[in-house]
Amino acid sequence: LTDHGGDIHTPASNYGGLTALQAACKGNKMEVVRYLLEKGANINAPPAARDGFTVLEASLAAKDTAMFRFLLEQGASIGQPQGHSSHILRLLIDQMLFNLVPLALDASANVNEISKWGRNALQGAAIQGHVKIVLLLLEGGGKSQRPPCTANGRTVLEGAAEHGRLDTVKLLLVAGAEP
């Protein structure tokens, strides 16, 4: 199609649309992703205004470490405004893609970035009881002491305690969370 006038720069439609590159990432089509990038596709093209995906978000559909890593190596912005209400670290934790968290942190993902409902990655990991991820996020600059999220108003410590995550509660207290 590109040889016959197809435009790889066509933006995503407003409602759930994808660029060609975002679609290839969502389908885990590495060969197509490489081709589109070689042809100049914008790796950081904005997602659809509603229900859209960045290339990194789209790549999570396949749960493919290689695709996620490749996109970061090619310059995908970890801090790009996301198509969903949660940022990339929160999505990784919610989808239990823990092996990708260190890659996101190495790419300077904002550990304390807050979703539109006031939640962040540390809260998600603490509530789910993922002690190793909580420790990794704390080491990456996560703040154990921050205001409660705006939806269902829990601090990191309150969320961990409410869900019975004793190991996480102990870790957060050692890290400076106020009881």
Under DSSP, the state recorded for 155 is: -
Within a 10 A sphere around the Cβ of 166, how many other Cβ atoms? 11
- pLDDT number for residue 75: 94
The conformational region for residue 131 under phi > 0 = left, psi -120 to 50 = alpha, else beta, is: alpha
Distance CA 163, CA 158 (A): 9
CB atoms within 10 A of CB 29: 15
Among 51, 84, 117, which residue terminates a domain?
A: 84
| Domain identity same for 96 and 111 | yes
pLDDT in tens, 57-68: 999 988 888 999
49, 38: one domain: yes
Q: Is residue 143 domain-shared with residue 98, that is, in the same domain? A: yes
Read off the pLDDT of residues 125-159 as tens digits, 9 standing for 90 and up.
999 999 999 999 999 999 888 777 666 677 889 98
Residues 165, 144, single domain; the answer is yes
Token pair 């092996």 in the structure block, residue: 99
The one-letter amino acid code at 19 reads: T
Share of residues in the chain with pLDDT > 90 (%): 48
User: Which residue blocks in the chain are alpha helix, DSSP H?
Assistant: 20-26, 30-38, 55-59, 65-73, 88-94, 101-106, 121-128, 131-139, 156-162, 166-174
Q: Which residue, 33, 64, 84, sits at the end of a domain?
A: 84
Q: Which residue range(s) make up the domain with 61?
A: 1-84
Please indicate, yes or no, whether the overall pTM of this predicted structure exceeds 0.75: yes
Q: Read off the CATH number of the domain in which 19 is found.
A: 1.25.40.20
Q: Could you tell me if 109 and 89 are in contact, meaning their C-beta atoms sit under 8 angstroms apart?
A: yes
Number of domains in the chain: 2
What pLDDT is attached to residue 86?
58
Asked whether residue 21 falls in the same domain as residue 68, the answer is yes
